[in-house]
Amino acid sequence: MSLGILGGTFNPIHRAHLRLADAARRELDLARVRFVPAGDPPLKRSGIAPAPHRLEMVRRAVRGRSGFEVDDIEVTRSGPSYTIDTLRALSGGDGARAPWFVCGADALAEIEAWRDFERLFDYAHFAVAPRPGQAHSLEALLPAGLARAFEPAPRGWRHRSGHALRMLPFELSELSASDVRARIARGQKIDDLVPGEVARYIDEHQLYREVD
């Protein structure tokens, strides 16, 4: 069994993130899923709660959930949070089983904007969850330049490193963190969108009271 890595801004973490982690753990036979909140996300600069708040909300969201854990590696690391640095650190080195990096189809479609995107698959397998409004095939999602490093495999594609790229049989809902923030800014309840502990933390610290 392998490790799953679910990175993101988590601004804030919501129920769809938890459902995705559950689906990945089940479908990929993962021993555990590690949530890795971005400390300083280079592609998202506005409307972001301070990293310590986002980290604490993730910790509260996964508390008591078997097989889920939180890693503060990107929050404690100085400078922008680049996924390539995190995968290098968590890949385990030679002889270790490569982790699975879990993301949404929207992330794969924009992967060319990530630092050293050509090297990401050298350190991990990738599992991609379809999203409404996004293509539902790897061929349509993967940028053409990057696709040259892959070949068809029985359950998806295989990178030249030997690592896999596959779709998860799970479609992320239209729920997004921006929906949660917008509802908070309007003074509406969010208990159906985020775990109760997260809703209470947001209220206690008066987060997201203004529209992005």
Residue 192 has pLDDT above 70, yes or no: yes
Q: Which residue has the higher pLDDT, 145 or 89?
A: 89
Average pLDDT over residues 14-27: 96
How many Å apart are CA 35 and CA 72, to the nearest integer?
A: 9
Average pLDDT over residues 122-143: 87
In the chain, the amino acid numbered 62 is V
Residue range of the domain that includes 135: 2-172
Decide if 193 is inside a domain: no
Burial class (CB in 10 A: 0-12, 13-18, 19+), 109: middle
Tens-place pLDDT, residues 63-114? 999 999 999 999 999 999 999 999 999 986 555 689 999 999 989 989 999 9
Query: Furthest-apart CA pair in the chain: how many Å?
Result: 51
**Overall number of domains in the chain:** 1
Question: 64's torsion region: left (phi>0), alpha (psi -120 to 50) or beta?
Answer: left
Asked, as a colleague might, if the bond just before 52 is cis with ω within 30 of 0, I would say: no
Residue 17 has pLDDT above 60, yes or no: yes
Exposure pattern of 45-75 as b/e (b: 16+ CB <10 Å)? eeebbebebbbbbbbbbbeeeeebebbbbbb
Decide if 19 is inside a domain: yes
Residue 1 has a pLDDT of: 66
Q: For 137, phi and psi rounded to 5 degrees?
A: -130, 145
Q: Which residue has the higher pLDDT, 42 or 162?
A: 162
Average pLDDT over residues 28-50: 91
Residue 79 has a pLDDT of: 93
pTM of the entire structure? 0.93
Do 29 and 58 touch, CB atoms closer than 8 A? Answer: no
Decide if 65 is inside a domain: yes
| % pLDDT > 70, the chain | 95
Decide if 125 is inside a domain: yes
Decide if 98 is inside a domain: yes
Q: Which residue has the higher pLDDT, 193 or 132?
A: 193
Q: What is the mean pLDDT of the chain?
A: 92
Taken as a whole, the chain contains a residue count of: 212
Residue 42 has a pLDDT of: 86
Decide if 184 is inside a domain: no
Residue 45 has a pLDDT of: 67
- Beta carbons within 8 Å of 57's beta carbon, 6+ residues apart: 10, 12, 13, 198, 201, 202
CATH number at residue 144: 3.40.50.620
Tens-place pLDDT, residues 41-72? 987 767 899 999 999 999 999 999 999 999 99
